[in-house]
Structure 1
């Protein structure tokens, strides 16, 4: 194929961010959308027209979307619990290259279904782990080995805003999202594996719901989604990593802070949250930073990593959604390999599920003991 013509499955808030970034890919168009919510369906169709992506057909099902012959690539940005089912439906009807939002699955019992899909799907599937592509995070990844002499300790801190409102409030309940440590934090578990180039062997976690959504009710149910956690992970290489999550800390200057330390020194990156949430009275939002702190000679060196304002305007993820799409476009056209494979998405989910289990039981969890890890090891 010479150009990408998308079919979009799920056009809520994140789906519309994808549309704004697809519009930045030369030659890309949208031929069909499937979005059950009428308001989001209309908004996404209007966005396609305004962005120059065409006038997409508003499909009433995935089957109808796949019947649009112009569609040659797919984006799945639907609620978490639908991802695997929709991948299976596409595999049965018309397998095309897919960029699928995380997490790949939300129920540990569904791991064998993902294994079957992984073994049989004939086209590229890229899992949307866009945090890899935030410019300051990418810089840290590129320089971590040289700066540290081999990472032995990796810490990721995210202090951010509570979960936003989604269509049908699906993200307020663990049964729909997989739990916070799957829904939100699979990004960070993916980063840990990617930076350390090693697989996890043991997970210890503590987490819960301390503040957010406790005064809400949906159909008589109070949300059960967690808003804070600590997770410690031992890796096969001997390295260890920690995640610190707080989702009632949107007053922080930086949203993500990542540090990697080894025998030669330390490298860290500081990443601000979405610019639209930065208080206007404080002036311009912070600029991302990367800081290298060698042990000898001592002396931290800080470099600002500004992000293209056009990319910042296109979404809430520091330009990473665009960089992800640009790489996926090459992979979908056969010009580059898939960088975030189904196995990467699977590992990230399994790590999140192990963390959920550890926090719920108070016990460390060995990855090898998890049924959902079968086929990984």
Structure 2
């Protein structure tokens, strides 16, 4: 029997979720709350049988709903979780980031203590097939990771409803909005928590000529972050959002005493120039120290999954795992704790960039 979803927010990312859920035989979207008329109409085209409602409260009154997806703008996530908790706390998959400011921490803790159902934070990058392959083989390939590097060279922030993603106050800042994915991957891959972060970032190219209600966007378009972990491992992030000419969008390398493992992930196929032929295929490369000799492995993804979204098939695989948690057949793999750490690391990177000082994490911070 299908699990019935109620969906909150059907902008660009919400519609990617809808397309991927349509590919899952054991999932059905039965109701949608999307206040923007244009996005609501597009969502209805994808899921014509879903009931369109006018509020979160109206959505929760539909008894057949088994679980929820929150894909609204960042600054709505926490308040909508609190509203759900107060009315009908169903299992929920909430898009990243879990919250947008340090002042939200007390509310997050209260939510975590009281919420009786699974809360899964949507960290899609974990489920990209090449990234998942790297994670699975990293220990054997490296002999224990001592250095981890994540690079994303990509296109600028896309246009969103109400231009909410142009301002730090609504997104948490680029190091939260964009980079929380990568900080989550650091903790997951290294199996350790951060102790210190140093970062540098800013706005160099994008959005400088844009104005919204007379205000210039303050969202950053590039940066570096270096993170020391409790395990002694070190990690580095490099982000550039005016590099859409790149062959690969994400590149991750992990290195240890025995060797190196890398993955290379192409960006969305819809942005690949047609005159260059077929888009690149994701790869994993294993490079042992002895005997030397890199070994490259193609990691193809089902074209139907690539067509359904911009995240290398990961949205589909994430929902597969979430559905198991909804049914009580598997664990919540991306917890509130994981979502909280990802935001805290992003906020610390923003702070470090602004002050020029390293930020140290207290043992009790998360």
Counterpart CA distance in 2 for 1:13 and 1:289 is 27
| 2:143 pairs with 1:143 | no
* 1:27 shift after superposition: 2.9
Out of 307, 317, 326, the residue aligned to residue 311 of structure 2 is 317
Aligned to 2:149: 155
Aligned to 1:17: 16
Aligned to 1:308: 302
* 1:57 shift after superposition: 1.7
RMSD over aligned CA atoms reads: 0.8
Counterpart CA distance in 2 for 1:211 and 1:240 is 29
| 2:321 pairs with 1:347 | no
Out of 250, 260, 265, the residue aligned to residue 256 of structure 1 is 250
Aligned to 1:36: 35
Aligned to 1:326: 320
Secondary structure at the aligned position of 2:35 is classed as coil
Counterpart CA distance in 1 for 2:182 and 2:101 is 19
**Preserved contact between residue 266 and residue 294 of structure 1 (Cα < 8 Å):** yes
In the TM superposition, what whole-angstrom CA distance separates every residue of 1:141-190 from its partner, at most 9, and x where no partner exists? 00000000000000000000000000000000000000000000000000
Secondary structure at the aligned position of 2:195 is classed as strand
Secondary structure at the aligned position of 1:91 is classed as helix
Secondary structure at the aligned position of 2:26 is classed as coil
Counterpart CA distance in 2 for 1:30 and 1:134 is 23
With normalisation by structure 2, the TM-score equals: 0.99
Aligned to 2:210: 216
Aligned to 1:52: none
Secondary structure at the aligned position of 1:368 is classed as coil
Out of 220, 227, 243, the residue aligned to residue 226 of structure 1 is 220
Counterpart CA distance in 2 for 1:67 and 1:214 is 44
The aligned runs of 1:4-153 (5 Å cut-off) are 4-49=3-48, 55-153=49-147
Counterpart CA distance in 2 for 1:278 and 1:43 is 24
Secondary structure at the aligned position of 2:205 is classed as coil
In the TM superposition, what whole-angstrom CA distance separates every residue of 1:87-117 from its partner, at most 9, and x where no partner exists? 0000000000000000000011011100110
Give aligned pairs, total.
366
In the TM superposition, what whole-angstrom CA distance separates every residue of 1:58-95 from its partner, at most 9, and x where no partner exists? 11110000001111110000000000000000000000
* 1:3 shift after superposition: 2.3
Stretches of structure 1 lacking an aligned partner (at least 5 in a row):
50-54
**Preserved contact between residue 258 and residue 270 of structure 1 (Cα < 8 Å):** yes
Stretches of structure 2 lacking an aligned partner (at least 5 in a row):
none
**Preserved contact between residue 31 and residue 68 of structure 1 (Cα < 8 Å):** no
Counterpart CA distance in 1 for 2:246 and 2:158 is 17
Counterpart CA distance in 2 for 1:189 and 1:161 is 20
Out of 290, 296, 315, the residue aligned to residue 290 of structure 2 is 296
User: Deviating runs (4+, > 4 A) in structure 1?
Assistant: none
Out of 161, 165, 169, the residue aligned to residue 159 of structure 2 is 165
Counterpart CA distance in 1 for 2:35 and 2:103 is 27
In the TM superposition, what whole-angstrom CA distance separates every residue of 1:221-258 from its partner, at most 9, and x where no partner exists? 00000000000000000000000000000000000010
